[in-house]
Every structure is written in C-alpha cells, then in structure tokens.
C-alpha cells in the first residue's frame, strides 16, 4: 500500500465553530469502532482477536512475510505485532522461519491450524460484510468504490 503524506502547513487555522467539525472523520471513527467491535465479538467464538485475524488474513494471501511486510499489511505497531505473532506462534497458528539468504531475516508463515481458524472466522465475517454491503442497496455508491475510498484513506499518513 502506498502512503500519501498530508502536510498541515498552510492549512487554515482550526475553528471552534461546531458547524465546522470534522464530521467525516467522526463518522469514520464511529464506524471503525463499530466494525472493530463486531469483528472482536465474532473473533471471540473463534479465539482470534481482530489484530490476529488481520495477520492471518495477510498471511493467507501472501504466506511467508517478514515482520516489516506484515506491519505494512496490517498497519500494526511493531511491538504490538511482535506480541501478537508470539501469541500466535505459541498457539501454533503461525510459525517463523529464518531466511536462507540472510539469517537476520525472519519470515512468518501461516500453519494449517491457522488456515483452519482463518477460514472458519471468514465464514462469519462474510455475513457481517454482507450486512455492510446491504447498506449500499439504496445509495449511489458501489461497494467496490467504497472499498477503494477506504483504502485511499488508509494510505494517508499525517
């Protein structure tokens, strides 16, 4: 994912006028919290946190990532990602492999058990995603357009 840096230099001064509140950001944050809670609730029955699901999902698509690649694909902080991968290794959901060419490099792989957990949780998450897609039925925006907008927002860096 390519990052876009945002510069606040030359931006208009912040206003205390409530009519100029960042309503889109507020809506995004509330939606994000709601989605996170739904994924967390779904993950409880599968014993997977949202962060662990993001890791499994990234590895399911591109197995054998370095920690740096996982960080880019999950937007996780380094220490949080390391702790999550450590927990997942102890539960046999993923395993580490030292690089052949550069022994300082460590690759993370999804295990068969990790695939099984990911696939089971994905079934439940697809139900949630369909509920989100259903919200578009009366709107003028296609789900793939909305996804592209969200990916663009995710690539922004302050």
**Mean per-residue pLDDT for 86-93?**
97
> pLDDT, tens digit, for every residue of 56-69?
999 999 999 999 99
pLDDT at 151: 86
**Alpha-helical segments (H) within 2-49:** 23-46
pLDDT at 2: 52
For the whole model, what pTM was predicted? Answer: 0.79
Nearest to 88 by CA among 108, 63, 67: 108
Q: Label the pairing between strands 94-98 and 106-110.
A: antiparallel
Every domain of the chain and the residues it spans: 32-136
> pLDDT, tens digit, for every residue of 99-115?
888 888 999 999 999 99
The shares of helix, strand and coil residues in the chain, as percent rounded to the nearest 5, are 60, 10, 30
CA distance 51 to 94: 14
Of the candidate ranges 15-19, 35-39, 91-95, 138-142, the one whose mean pLDDT is the lowest: 15-19
How many CB atoms are located within 10 Å of the residue 115 CB? 15
Structure confidence at residue 71 as a pLDDT band (50, 70, 90): very high
- Gyration radius of the chain over CA positions: 19
pLDDT at 10 over 80: no
Of the candidate ranges 7-11, 27-31, 94-98, 127-131, the one whose mean pLDDT is the lowest: 7-11
Instruction: Tell me the CA distances in angstroms from 80 to 17, 35, 120, 136, 158, one per residue in order.
Output: 37, 20, 24, 34, 20
Backbone angles phi, psi at 102, to 5 degrees: -135, 105
Q: State both tokens at 121.
A: 């949780």
Q: Identify which has the larger pLDDT, 37 or 155.
A: 37
pLDDT at 15: 57
Q: Which fold has domain 32-136?
A: Arc Repressor Mutant, subunit A (1.10.10)
């Amino acid at each position: 994912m390519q990052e876009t840096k945002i510069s606040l230099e030359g931006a208009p001064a912040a206003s205390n006028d409530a009519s100029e509140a960042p309503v889109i950001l507020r809506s995004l944050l509330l939606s994000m919290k709601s989605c996170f809670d739904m994924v967390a609730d779904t993950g409880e029955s599968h014993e997977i946190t949202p962060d662990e699901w993001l890791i499994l999902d990234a590895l399911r698509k591109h197995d054998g990532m370095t920690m740096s690649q996982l960080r880019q694909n999950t937007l996780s902080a380094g220490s949080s990602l390391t702790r999550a991968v450590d927990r997942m290794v102890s539960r046999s959901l993923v395993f580490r492999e030292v690089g052949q060419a550069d022994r300082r490099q460590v690759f993370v792989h999804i295990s068969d058990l990790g695939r099984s957990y990911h696939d089971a949780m994905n079934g439940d998450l697809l139900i949630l995603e369909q509920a989100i897609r259903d919200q578009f039925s009366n709107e003028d925006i296609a789900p793939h357009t909305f996804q592209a907008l969200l990916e663009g927002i995710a690539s922004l860096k302050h």
